[in-house]
Structure 1
Amino acid sequence: MGVGFGSLCLVMGGILKKRRKIRLHKKFFKRNGGLLLQQQMFAKEDSLQNTKIFTSKELDKATDYFNKNRVVGQGTVYKGMLDDGRIVAVKRSTGMVAENVEKFINEVVILSRINHRNVVKLLGCCLETEVPLLVYEFIPNGTIFQYLHDQSEEFKMSWETRLRIAKESAEALSYLHSSASIPIFIIETSREKPVSFERGDNRRGLASRFIDSMEENRVLDIVDDRVMEQARPEELMMVAKLAYQCLSLSRRKRPTMKDVSLELEQILSMQKDLISSSRDSTYFQQLQLLILQVLFPEK
């Protein structure tokens, strides 16, 4: 009888624990705006229908219960695999309070509608955890931040690659500004961090430092040494003038991101033509040398 009673207590304890967990999940789901998101999803017949509300059980399994070995980036993002085999990035949302629930849900709705090859896709979210979890497609090659700031001597980013990143970033921003269902505006920054305490008190802001350098006609002095080794001065000045226009305090003087992407495309084309002509020149030099060796072989 004692063994039977103990087993019954264990079973009842497990059931009660499971029920408490379910109640807690429902509490978090409601607090994190789950009901509001469901209303938005049912009310709109658009791409929001593809957005999924994940359960905590699904994401626990996908991330091996948020195993530390799955951490990527800055520590709040975990690599995971869904049951259908898709690799995802699961991000813990931070700093959300009850007053911001409606704003958070609106942002989820907006981000779910974004569909651009240069913008990471939001696949869905989980709202039955203490803090919301956002599920994105996983990008295996790292972030732009890592490419710009964590470069090693073995991998030096070329001037052509930097131009391509700038152009594709401008294309993505143009899409967010003009083609998304609701215009989205964000702040991006070229290779230095936007604010650095390693610079002097008056030069901590990269934007103000750059503007001062342009107006004092010494902008090439602050260009990354790696860029100076590869880019022509005229190309650098074209990009610098474009950036200077983008930082204008007058809205009318600032170019649209579409204009920026088009101009960067032109500069990138110039760079490709230069590389092509350089290769052609090398090829013809080698060919001429070969002809001379055939016609006038050494004795």
Structure 2
Amino acid sequence: MGMLLILLLSLTILVVLLLRTIAAQSRPNCPNKCKNVNVTIPYPFGTREGCYLNELYFVNCTNLKIFKTSIKVLKISADGDLRGLVPISHRCYNKHGYETSSEPRITFSRFPLSSSRNVLTTVGCDARSNIGLAYGDGYITGGLTNNAGCNTVKNGSCLGMGCSQVPVLYNMTSIKIHTKRNTNVTVGKWRFNNCTYGFLVQKDHYKFHVTDLYKMQRRYFPVVLKWSVGNTSCEAAQTNRTMYMCTENSICIDTQTECDQTYKGYRCQCAKGYQGNAYLPNGCQDINECEEHLDDCLYGCTNTIGNYTCSCFLGHRGDGRKSGEGVGMGIAASFVLTLIVYGGLKQRHIMKSREKFFKMNGGLILRKLLFESKQSSQMAKIFTAGVLEKATNNFHKTNIIGQGGNGTVYKGTLADKTMVAIKKSKSIDRNQIEQFINEVIMLSAISHPNVVKLLGCCLETQTPLLVYEFITNKTVFQHLHEYGNISSLTYERRLKIAMETAEALSYIHSTTQIIHRDIKSSNILLTDNYTAKVSDFGISRFIPVDQTHLQTLVHGTLGYIDPEYFRSGILTEKSDVYSFGMLLVELLTGRKVFSHDGTQSDLGLATYFVSSLVSGCLIEILDHEVKKYGLHDNIKKLARLAEHCVELEGRKRPSMKEVKAELTKLSQYLTLTLNSLYCLTDQS
């Protein structure tokens, strides 16, 4: 009898929970699913009249398509994501050279494509696909595969050999994808596969297979759209409570708009500690956090509205969580720690370790090269570990001035009061020690006003320490993106920074044959008078005079990496040109090249910038400090130069010498223009 009561009680609780879930998804008396299809349709979407917000949110159960869209719904999430299937575009040729193609127009109604969650994928050998507006002329951006034929393609690889992927544009609500061969088809001579394919797909939801080169015409792929409600911002919507969609225990989040202003709105989300549908009355229900966070508590867990609390053991107080600091009231515990001093033994161990690392890191080779050098006074200095430890207070965290994927940079003060920046690398390739030493010698010999001077190194630590001159005025990244610094970079200063960076890169390309490989705003330091200094040659590579390129593993910073180098692994001077182009885009727009917050800059700033330039919306994406000048010829020319630098194909990009020359002209022209304005002002 007791077991029966327990079973009935459990079933009752289950039914209540299920009813609550249903109520939290759809309006009363409205189905939240189509028959025989396991896809939940939450309000404001609905499957029949009276169950959806308006007809744009109507889901047709016959084909699972949303009103006026081409997408077949897979999932609608409360967080504003809508996943669905879209068709592929293709173009095929027969042995006589005739072609057949299918390039469907894909419409998303008011729900734009997520640029951070999708990629444009091209499949084929020597193939290209381009994406554009469904009912407009021309194509804005695209991807291409290499022209090495089909012999080198591998399963799973989408880096240019038979398959490539590039970011997509922002807020596109209707598209067409055009596919074609890069080279002409020769009748009867097939060097490549006979079809090219182009399609949108959610990131990490397509894995290339060699057989895809021949059989993909009728396939569909998942994409992610962003959905919202209303046509105003949260602030504007909240002024009209009868029209405001967000219900109790929820928050309102603005959706982002672009320069054409065709897409506005907001979305509702349950507040922290609640879950459900924020568009329905009582749709956001309290979460019992104790079911999820019980292990976080030292003793016991109590659920509260929107949160939870942890209990302490008897006789203790505190927050009761394992991460907290419980303090005993009744029992005072004392621990006596005995320090054993090893004295001379410990010091001897340290000295032996330093001597071992010095030899492993090429110290003997460097010492020999410095001894033989006729310009040893200008060459790298070998610092001891003790000197640098003293300079940085034993590398105390308060002296950290920069951190990245390659290592940490510390501020230090030498005994003679010289300020230095000390870079501690995360690792070093032991097979490249001799090359590392040669590059230290070469970099220390570089004397250019726009390159941070390498003073020397320390080889007595597990990974070598590099010692640079200390630059006082932070990085370009900090001035562009950190609150309180942004207004410091006027357009004049931005153009000056661009010109000086170009001068440095042109110099190292032509004089030292070094490719920097990691040009980005956080590697451009500024002096007190805003002179640019290129820094961090940690992953730079030297190209011998008789070579034009190197085949390497791909290194760099996402967003700045040359797409051609990313696909092929072939490093050239034009790889630095692409990265520099992204720096120009960053200076013009004030947007981060890459961010993890899903904003417009995420993974696609180059595409977004070029498309805005082509569509005449440049003024809308310029940074506020740049807009102060209006859209005059100087800014337009700088934008065009940035566009040329970020061309997908390296051969179409200018050299850094050409970039330097163009920036010098723009700088001189701007100076003359401003001087003329000052003269007119004085005369008036």
TM-score (norm 2): 0.37
| Structure 1 unaligned blocks of 5 or more | 1-9, 286-299
Structure 2 equivalent of residue 263 of structure 1: 662
Quote the Cα distance in structure 2 between the aligned partners of 1:233 and 1:247.
22
Give the deviation of 1:110 after TM superposition. Answer: 3.0
Classify the secondary structure of the residue corresponding to 1:155: helix
Quote the Cα distance in structure 2 between the aligned partners of 1:202 and 1:78.
30
Quote the Cα distance in structure 2 between the aligned partners of 1:92 and 1:198.
29
Quote the Cα distance in structure 2 between the aligned partners of 1:195 and 1:220.
21
**Of 137-146 and 164-173, the range deviating more from structure 2:** 137-146
Quote the Cα distance in structure 1 between the aligned partners of 2:484 and 2:374.
48
Classify the secondary structure of the residue corresponding to 2:423: strand
Contact 1:71 1:79 in 2 (8 A): yes
Contact 2:595 2:601 in 1 (8 A): no
* Correspondence 1:77 to 2:406: no
Give the deviation of 1:93 after TM superposition. Answer: 1.1
Structure 1 segment 131-210 matched on structure 2, within 5 A = 131-152=463-484, 155-180=487-512, 182-186=513-517, 187-188=519-520, 189-190=583-584, 191=586, 192-199=591-598, 204-210=603-609
**Of 225-234 and 19-28, the range deviating more from structure 2:** 225-234
Q: 1:60 aligns with which of 389, 400, 416?
A: 389
Quote the Cα distance in structure 2 between the aligned partners of 1:94 and 1:59.
17
Give the deviation of 1:97 after TM superposition. Answer: 4.5
**Of 258-267 and 190-199, the range deviating more from structure 2:** 190-199
Quote the Cα distance in structure 1 between the aligned partners of 2:354 and 2:623.
51
1 or 2 for the larger relative contact order (CA 8 Å, sep ≥6)?
A: 1
In 2 relative to 1, CA 73–155 (structure 1 residues): closer, same or farther, beyond 3 Å?
same
Give the deviation of 1:167 after TM superposition. Answer: 0.6
Root-mean-square deviation (CA, aligned residues, Å) is: 2.7
In 2 relative to 1, CA 156–21 (structure 1 residues): closer, same or farther, beyond 3 Å?
closer
Quote the Cα distance in structure 1 between the aligned partners of 2:495 and 2:630.
10
Structure 1 residues 156-202: Cα deviation after superposition (integer angstroms, max 9, x where no partner): 4211111111111111111111122x333433423233323445689
Larger strand proportion of the pair: 2
Give the deviation of 1:276 after TM superposition. Answer: 1.8
In 2 relative to 1, CA 149–103 (structure 1 residues): closer, same or farther, beyond 3 Å?
farther
Give the deviation of 1:44 after TM superposition. Answer: 4.4
**Of 232-241 and 47-56, the range deviating more from structure 2:** 47-56
Q: How many residues align?
A: 273
Structure 2 equivalent of residue 219 of structure 1: 618
Give the deviation of 1:47 after TM superposition. Answer: 5.8
Quote the Cα distance in structure 1 between the aligned partners of 2:627 and 2:603.
22
Structure 1 equivalent of residue 676 of structure 2: 277
Larger Cα-atom Rg: 2
Structure 1 segment 220-299 matched on structure 2, within 5 A = 220-285=619-684
Structure 2 equivalent of residue 41 of structure 1: 370
Structure 2 equivalent of residue 94 of structure 1: 426
| Structure 2 unaligned blocks of 5 or more | 1-340, 521-582
Structure 1 residues 193-244: Cα deviation after superposition (integer angstroms, max 9, x where no partner): 3323445689623223223333434333322232112244322210011111
Quote the Cα distance in structure 1 between the aligned partners of 2:486 and 2:423.
31
Structure 1 equivalent of residue 234 of structure 2: none
**Of 156-165 and 64-73, the range deviating more from structure 2:** 64-73
Structure 1 residues 16-59: Cα deviation after superposition (integer angstroms, max 9, x where no partner): 33222211111121222323333443454446862111101111
Q: Which amino acid aligns with 2:456?
A: G
Structure 1 residues 49-84: Cα deviation after superposition (integer angstroms, max 9, x where no partner): 621111011112222222333222338222222223
Structure 1 segment 118-137 matched on structure 2, within 5 A = 118-137=450-469
Structure 1 residues 127-148: Cα deviation after superposition (integer angstroms, max 9, x where no partner): 1112321110001122222222
Quote the Cα distance in structure 1 between the aligned partners of 2:630 and 2:369.
50
What percent of counterpart residues are identical?
43
Quote the Cα distance in structure 2 between the aligned partners of 1:40 and 1:212.
52
Q: 2:439 aligns with which of 91, 97, 107?
A: 107
